[in-house]
């Protein structure tokens, strides 16, 4: 791209389509681009103050916003968490107040999210039909991975602290707490990148790419 968005977030569809967007959007700006496999580039508005951007297996975008967007003038960002078609159509939103979307993870058929308003943990379908919810997590959540009834949560403000548990009828049941060293075999440095996607956590630094899959727990 000749004009790559500033501070870009991006993801790739199964068919090779790529969505890339700038985390900030000026009024009237199209801050995203859909890059098709034939290299056709289509501009798109993705909202302001993007915290998370992930594509689902139907080729639609899930976007979570931080508070500058939620409390700003951009109407899309004010929704906090949206599912957006790649032609720019709003498909659905969370339907409740979200001050800051802290954590988002999109798998093939489900979505898991947590946000600043009381830090609930909500699991829903791609149509945002809710399946499970913990009204208030015992600690703020920064990242989360999930598989069947298993959940692995990274605690916000304590990057090296993780908690593993399962969905039960009453909500989420804690099983054990783990440090980054116990989980990855090393700590998390300031320049390291940690990504949660589907059932996996990926820790990437200058010379290693380490991942754990809770499907194996």
Q: Which two tokens stand for residue 111?
A: 């979505």
CA within 13 Å, CB half, 15: 13
- Tell me if 32 sits within 8 A of 87, measured CB to CB: no
Q: What is the pLDDT of residue 2?
A: 64
- Tell me if 44 sits within 8 A of 36, measured CB to CB: no
Distances (CA, A) of 63 to 9, 104, 146, 210: 10, 8, 19, 26
Dist. CA 44–CA 33, nearest whole Å? 6
Chain segment 182-195, per-residue pLDDT in tens: 999 999 999 999 99
Chain segment 87-104, per-residue pLDDT in tens: 999 999 999 999 999 999
- Lowest-confidence pick of 3-17, 38-52, 66-80, 102-116: 3-17
- Tell me if 201 sits within 8 A of 194, measured CB to CB: yes
Using a 10 angstrom Cβ sphere, with 0-12 exposed, 13-18 middle and 19 or more buried, the burial of residue 150 is middle
Dist. CA 72–CA 213, nearest whole Å? 37
Chain segment 68-91, per-residue pLDDT in tens: 999 999 999 999 999 999 999 999
If you average pLDDT over residues 122-132, what whole number do you get?
94
Given a cut of 80, whether residue 3 has pLDDT beyond it is no
If you average pLDDT over residues 202-208, what whole number do you get?
93
Q: Which two tokens stand for residue 202?
A: 């990926």
Dist. CA 204–CA 84, nearest whole Å? 28
Dist. CA 60–CA 126, nearest whole Å? 9
How much of the chain, in percent, has pLDDT values that exceed 90? 88
- Tell me if 117 sits within 8 A of 129, measured CB to CB: no
Q: What is the pLDDT of residue 192?
A: 95
Given a cut of 70, whether residue 54 has pLDDT beyond it is yes
């Amino acid at each position: 791209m000749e004009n790559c968005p500033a501070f870009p977030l991006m993801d790739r569809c199964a068919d090779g389509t790529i969505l890339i967007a700038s985390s900030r959007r000026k009024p009237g700006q199209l801050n995203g681009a859909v890059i098709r496999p034939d290299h056709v580039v289509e501009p798109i508005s993705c909202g302001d103050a993007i915290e998370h951007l992930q594509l689902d297996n139907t080729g639609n975008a899930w976007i979570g916003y931080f508070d500058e967007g939620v409390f700003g003038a951009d109407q899309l960002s004010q929704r906090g968490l949206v599912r957006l078609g790649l032609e720019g159509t709003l498909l659905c939103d969370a339907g409740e107040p979200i001050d800051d979307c802290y954590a988002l993870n999109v798998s093939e058929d489900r979505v898991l999210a947590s946000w600043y308003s009381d830090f609930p943990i909500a699991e829903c379908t791609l149509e945002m039909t809710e399946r499970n919810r913990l009204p208030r997590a015992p600690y703020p959540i920064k990242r989360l991975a999930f598989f069947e009834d298993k959940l692995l949560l990274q605690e916000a403000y304590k990057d090296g602290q993780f908690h593993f548990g399962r969905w039960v009828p009453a909500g989420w049941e804690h099983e054990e707490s783990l440090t980054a060293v116990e989980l990855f075999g090393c700590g998390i440095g300031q320049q390291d990148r940690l990504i949660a996607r589907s059932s996996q956590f990926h820790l990437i630094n200058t010379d290693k790419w380490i991942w754990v899959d809770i499907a194996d727990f």
